[in-house]
């Protein structure tokens, strides 16, 4: 007899190994499943013992079905009375691919009609259909015009072990078969044999815990199931099945005695109550323990020196706090108290993976239902007294460079009273990140996207090292390190949301106070490289009318107001940034009619005829923009002549325009601006913390030539 065991993607190999270990023959892994052969006992054993298969199918008929008539006639010809009785209920589970019939429900209906008609021809009546709990479930697989009809020996999916309460579940739970696959890929069985423990610090409903106990305790995953698809099959041999059950019970009794420590925790009390119910129904009460605990407080069960820390990291549905902080806290806790352990985590966002600070050894792409997820497996290095947690030579080089920069810049910052500055800017090519330190408390890391020639896994490992080392060297909490991945931006992408936390903190620059946001945008709301430019604006603003075009969060407006500007106008297309600018001004006690804000397309705003003239203008457009709210695209290289000309039309006699751009390849078209007196003051506006990157911006001082 031949059988087929469907399985989730990328679990075919471990299912094949499992079936061989069970003792069946002819194992042949295929796409999304494994075929095997043997007597009826082989099918029974697979049903009872497979931890990874979703079903066990026993093919009954295979035939060409190029159209619906052929599908019906082929099913009608099967001697169904040899497989189940007229008194049994049945249902069809159908799937189609690359066939003339494209709707699985319709294909299933044709097979259902054929079976009913076959019984009616033989006995004058037909069996009943029960789609909820049929005695017999027939599986139809229609592939490229070939139909395979199989008895579903499992009857219902094998992930239904019998310990879940229907309808009572946490958000985004793992299927039991996937949880078992995760444990197998992480090497849990070998760890358990060696006496290692297991901990799930975000256990939810406890699926990983229960599956780990069943695996370590040699407990058949199907032992507590009561419904099977073969029990109403006329070929069923109860004595063979009963013998396998007796054997499984004996093995479970012996295996439970050797069960290693298995613990779980979760910050959600409701999830823990669900987990306790599942553990009890699995017969593991008193053998697997769970409790309410924050991930920042977890410790190895029974102080075990080795084991597996495994968890399904939240995707956001079950979490009320900050995902980035949670991932950071977990990584820090692993390194602090789980040295010598193996860690295996499921996640959906590779950008968050760096927060864990893990040196990943293995990586597996899986599916949790329809959600693509990734399993990353790593060994947590042991920490000995007096040994830093910087494990490899490259990370040590990065740490040393960061310490050296901190020592050098720290003296300068203290002398100048600077509290927010860049401490590292891709000093080592392999560690291509920029790190900004705010108030000595928060670090904002921007990763420059690596070129295609750089191995992606190597880049992730280095970024993980950066996330691991940075808080240690800077002396700040890991949860106060914020990561952004910088890629080539188009349009207004540099200003668009990267998250939705909406949290701001207050920082200082001399007499100024600014609100910054570390989570929602690629930039924090404060361009640190413009620190000297803000100081210049402050020094020149007294008694003047100041215009801030493309005003962003209004930091230049604050500088002008602090310098004693008579009036300050801020113009920006984004209402978010206009409100942010207003908040920054109000934080510095600048309110009233002297301070104006206008949400507008700056290009359109400049085209309108205006009577008012300004003594001081700061113009800092994006390099490129194709915002839907703009009437046209903007390219600073293409359009700067028109932009500067329009802006200088608004200058009062003797007024000054400062034009700034961060386009590195920018070339000023001086031939078209001959009526203007233009001085490149870029070198004067680059602060010491940006000396390694003097092309961070270009600034030009522009005045009208005397007539």
Beta strands 651-661 and 698-704 are antiparallel
Average pLDDT along the chain: 90
Least confident range from 138-142, 151-155, 476-480: namely 476-480
H-helix or E-strand spanning residue 635: strand 634-635
Q: Please, which pLDDT band fits residue 453 given cuts at 50, 70 and 90?
A: low
Residue 489 in this model has a pLDDT that exceeds 60: no
Nearest to 268 by CA among 396, 131, 404, 172: 172
- The alpha-carbon radius of gyration of the chain (Å, integer) is 34
pLDDT of residue 21: 95
In what helix (H) or strand (E) does residue 474 lie, and over which residues does it extend? helix 456-474
Residue 566 in contact with residue 540, Cβ under 8 Å? no
Strands 197-200 and 262-266: parallel
Place 494 in a pLDDT band, splitting at 50, 70 and 90. Answer: very low
pLDDT of residue 31 exceeding 50: yes
Say if residue 373 is exposed, middle or buried (CB neighbours under 10 Å; 0-12, 13-18, 19+).
Answer: buried
The pLDDT value given to residue 583: 97
Task: Give the model's pLDDT for residue 436.
Answer: 97
Q: What is the rounded average pLDDT of the residues 471-494?
A: 70
- How far is CA 348 from its chain centroid? 4
Q: What pLDDT is attached to residue 628?
A: 56
For 145, 181, 287, 299, 467, the CA distances from 471, given in Å and listed in that order, are 60, 35, 38, 22, 7
What dihedral do alpha carbons 165, 167, 168, 169 form, nearest 10°? Answer: 110
The DSSP line for 359-400 is: -EEEEEEEEETTEEEEEEEEEPPP--TT--S--SHHHHHHHH
| Spatial separation of the C-alpha atoms in residues 299 and 292, rounded to whole Å | 13
**For residue 80, is pLDDT > 50?**
yes
Within 13 Å, how many C-alpha atoms sit on residue 386's CB side? 0
At residue 486, the pLDDT reads 54
* Amino acid 500: pLDDT: 44
Which residue shows structure tokens 């699926």? 207
Tell me which of 193 and 485 has the higher pLDDT.
193
Assess whether pLDDT exceeds 80 at residue 629.
Answer: no
pLDDT band at 170 (very low <50, low <70, confident <90, very high): low
> What is the model's pLDDT at position 385?
43
pLDDT confidence tier of residue 255, bands split at 50, 70 and 90:
very high
pLDDT (tens digit, 9 = 90+) per residue, 325-345?
Answer: 788 889 888 988 998 999 999
What's the per-residue H, E or C state across 409-472?
HHHHHHHHCCCEEEEEECCCCCCCEEEEEECCCEEEEEEECCCCCCCHHHHHHHHHHHHHHHHH
Of 310, 295, 208, 220, the C-alpha closest to 256 is: 220
Lowest pLDDT segment from 95-109, 182-196, 215-229, 467-481 = 467-481
Q: For residue 553, which phi and psi values (nearest 5 degrees)?
A: -95, 15
DSSP code at position 380:
P
Token pair, residue 36, equals 């095997």
**pLDDT band of 452, cuts 50, 70, 90:** low
pLDDT confidence bin for 586, thresholds 50/70/90: very high
Please check the confidence at residue 495 and state whether its pLDDT lies above 90. Answer: no
> Model confidence at 320, in pLDDT bands (50, 70, 90)?
very low
Average pLDDT over residues 609-618: 93
Higher pLDDT, 556 or 459: 556
The predicted pLDDT at position 383 comes to: 60
Rounded mean pLDDT, 267-295:
94
pLDDT for 162 beyond 60: yes
Q: Which of 46-60, 359-373, 507-521, 653-667 is predicted least confidently?
A: 359-373
Eight-class DSSP state of 682: G
**pLDDT confidence band for 191 (50 / 70 / 90):** very high
Q: Is the pLDDT of residue 247 over 60?
A: yes
Q: How far apart are CA 405 and CA 428, in angstroms?
A: 12
Rounded distance between C-alpha atoms, residue 312 and residue 330, angstroms: 12
Return d(Cα 292, Cα 273) in angstroms, integer. Answer: 9
| Residue 350: band (very low, low, confident or very high) from pLDDT cuts 50, 70, 90 | confident
Q: Calculate mean pLDDT across residues 687-702.
A: 94
One-character DSSP codes across 69-93: HHHHHHHHTS-GGGTS-TTS-EEEE
129 DSSP assignment:
B
Contacts of 141 (CB under 8 A, 6+ apart): 94, 95, 147, 148, 150
Q: Using the predicted structure, report yes or no on whether residue 218 has a pLDDT greater than 80.
A: yes
β-pairing verdict for 420-425 and 433-438: antiparallel
Backbone angles phi, psi at 312, to 5 degrees: -100, 100
Sorted by sequence, the CB contacts under 8 Å of residue 407 that are 6+ apart come out as none
At 353 the pLDDT is: 82
652 or 320, higher pLDDT: 652
CA 542, CA 553: separation in Å to the nearest integer?
A: 21
The more confidently predicted of residues 369 and 263 is 263
502 pLDDT above the threshold of 60: no
Give the number of other CB atoms < 10 A from CB of residue 439: 13
H/E/C letters for each residue in 488-556? CCCCCHHHCECCCCCCCEEEEECCEEEEECCCCECCCCCCHHHHHHHHHHHHHCCCCEEEEECCCCCHH
Q: What is the DSSP letter of 183?
A: H
Average pLDDT of the residues in 352-356: 81
- Alpha helices by DSSP H, listed for 186-236, are 188-193, 207-216
485-506 average pLDDT score: 53
SS3 482: strand
The answer to whether the CB of 345 falls within 8 A of the CB of 310 is yes
Whether residue 315 has pLDDT greater than 80: no
Q: What count of other Cβ atoms lies within 10 Å of the Cβ of residue 596?
A: 13
Query: What pLDDT score was predicted for residue 613?
Result: 96
**DSSP code string of 268-327:** -HHHHHHHHHHHHHTT-BTTEEEEE--GGG---GGG-SSEEEEEE---STT-SS-HHHHH
**CA 244, 43, 75 angle in degrees (round to 5)?**
140
Percent of the chain with pLDDT over 70: 92
Q: Bin 326: left if φ > 0, else alpha if -120 < ψ < 50, else beta.
A: alpha
Q: Are 414 and 424 in contact (CB under 8 A)?
A: no
74 within 8 A of 117, measured Cβ to Cβ: no
Amino acid 329: pLDDT = 85
- pLDDT at position 318: 42
Please give the average per-residue pLDDT across 26-42, as a whole number: 94
- Calculate ∠ Cα 570-572-574, nearest 5°: 135
Cβ 656 vs Cβ 540: under 8 Å: yes
Q: In sequence order, what are the beta bridge partners of 3? A: 36
Dihedral sign, CA of 301, 305, 308, 314?
positive
Q: How confident is the model at residue 696 (pLDDT cuts 50, 70, 90)?
A: very high
In the predicted structure, residue 259 carries a pLDDT above the cut 90: yes
Domains and CATH numbers, the chain: 2-152 (3.30.2130.30), 176-217+258-379 (3.40.50.150), 393-488 (3.30.750.80), 526-704 (3.40.50.150)
> In the predicted model, is pLDDT for residue 406 greater than 90?
yes
Q: What is the mean pLDDT of residues 302-306?
A: 90
Asked whether 3 and 44 are in contact (CB, 8 A), the reply is: no
Find tokens 């949301």 and name the residue.
497
Query: Residue 430 — pLDDT band, cuts 50, 70, 90?
Result: confident
Indicate the range of 255-264, 422-431, 495-504 predicted with least confidence: 495-504
Residue whose entry in the numeric block shows the structure tokens 């808080």 = 471
Would you state the pLDDT for residue 322? 67
């Amino acid at each position: 007899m031949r059988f087929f065991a469907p399985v989730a993607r990328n679990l075919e190999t471990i299912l094949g190994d499992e079936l061989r270990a069970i003792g069946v023959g002819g194992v042949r892994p295929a796409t999304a499943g494994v075929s095997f052969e043997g007597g009826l006992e082989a099918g029974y054993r697979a049903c009872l013992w497979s931890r990874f298969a979703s079903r066990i199918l026993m093919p009954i008929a295979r035939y060409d079905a190029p159209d619906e008539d052929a599908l019906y006639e082929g099913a009608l010809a099967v001697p169904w009375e040899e497989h189940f009785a007229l008194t049994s209920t049945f249902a069809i589970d159908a799937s189609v691919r690359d066939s003339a019939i494209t709707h699985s429900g319709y294909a299933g209906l044709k097979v259902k009609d054929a079976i009913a008609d076959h019984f009616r021809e033989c006995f004058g009546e037909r069996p009943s259909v029960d789609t909820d709990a049929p005695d017999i479930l027939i599986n139809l697989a229609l592939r490229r015009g070939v139909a395979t009809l199989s008895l579903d020996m499992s009857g219902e999916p094998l992930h239904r072990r019998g310990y879940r309460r229907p309808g009572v579940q946490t958000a985004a739970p793992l299927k039991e078969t996937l949880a078992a696959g995760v444990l197998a890929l992480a090497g849990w069985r070998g760890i358990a044999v060696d006496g290692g423990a297991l901990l799930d610090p975000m256990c939810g409903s406890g699926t990983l815990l229960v599956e780990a106990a069943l695996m370590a305790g040699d407990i058949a995953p199907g032992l507590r199931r009561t419904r099977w698809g073969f029990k109403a099959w006329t070929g069923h041999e109860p004595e063979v099945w009963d013998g396998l059950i007796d054997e499984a019970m004996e093995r479970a009794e012996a295996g439970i005695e050797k069960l290693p420590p298995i613990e779980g925790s979760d910050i959600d009390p409701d999830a823990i109550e669900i987990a306790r119910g599942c553990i009890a129904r699995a017969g593991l009460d008193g053998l697997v323990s769970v409790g309410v605990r924050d991930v920042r407080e977890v410790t190895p069960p029974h102080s075990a020196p080795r084991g597996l820390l495994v968890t399904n990291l939240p995707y956001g549905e079950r979490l009320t706090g900050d995902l980035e902080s949670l991932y950071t806290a977990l990584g820090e806790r692993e390194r602090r108290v789980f040295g010598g352990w193996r860690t295996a985590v499921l996640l959906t966002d590779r950008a968050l993976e760096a927060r864990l600070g893990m040196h990943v050894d293995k990586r597996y792409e899986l599916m949790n239902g329809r959600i693509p997820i990734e399993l990353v497996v790593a060994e947590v290095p042991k920490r000995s007294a007096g040994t830093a947690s910087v494990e490899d030579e490259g990370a040590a080089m990065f740490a040393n460079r960061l310490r050296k920069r901190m020592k050098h810049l720290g003296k300068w910052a203290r002398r100048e009273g600077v509290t927010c500055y860049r401490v590292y800017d891709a000093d080592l090519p392999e560690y291509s990140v920029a790190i900004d330190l705010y108030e000595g408390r928060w670090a904002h890391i921007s990763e420059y996207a690596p070129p295609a020639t750089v191995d992606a896994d190597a880049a992730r490992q280095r970024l993980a090292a950066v996330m691991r080392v940075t808080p240690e060297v800077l002396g700040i909490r890991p949860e106060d390190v914020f990561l952004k991945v910088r890629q080539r931006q188009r349009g207004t992408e540099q200003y668009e949301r990267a998250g939705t936390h909406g949290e701001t903190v207050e920082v200082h620059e001399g007499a100024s106070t600014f609100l910054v946001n570390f989570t929602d945008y690629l930039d924090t709301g404060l361009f640190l490289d413009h620190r000297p430019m803000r100081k210049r604006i402050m020094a020149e603003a007294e008694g003047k009318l100041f215009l801030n075009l493309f005003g962003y969060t209004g930091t230049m407006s604050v500088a002008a107001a602090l310098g004693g500007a008579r009036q300050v106008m801020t113009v920006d297309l984004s209402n978010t940034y206009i409100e942010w600018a207003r908040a920054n001004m109000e934080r510095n006690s600048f309110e009233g009619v002297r301070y104006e804000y206008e949400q507008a397309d700056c290009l359109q705003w400049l085209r309108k005829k205006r009577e008012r003239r300004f003594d001081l203008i700061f113009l800092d457009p994006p390099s490129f923009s194709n915002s839907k709210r703009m009437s046209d695209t903007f390219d600073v290289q293409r359009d700067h002549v028109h932009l500067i000309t329009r802006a200088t039309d608004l200058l009062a006699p003797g007024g000054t325009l400062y034009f700034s751009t961060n386009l590195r390849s920018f070339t000023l078209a001086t031939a078209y601006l001959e009526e203007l007196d233009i001085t490149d003051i870029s070198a004067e506006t680059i602060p010491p913390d940006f000396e390694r990157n003097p092309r961070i911006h270009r600034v030009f001082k522009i005045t009208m030539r005397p007539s």
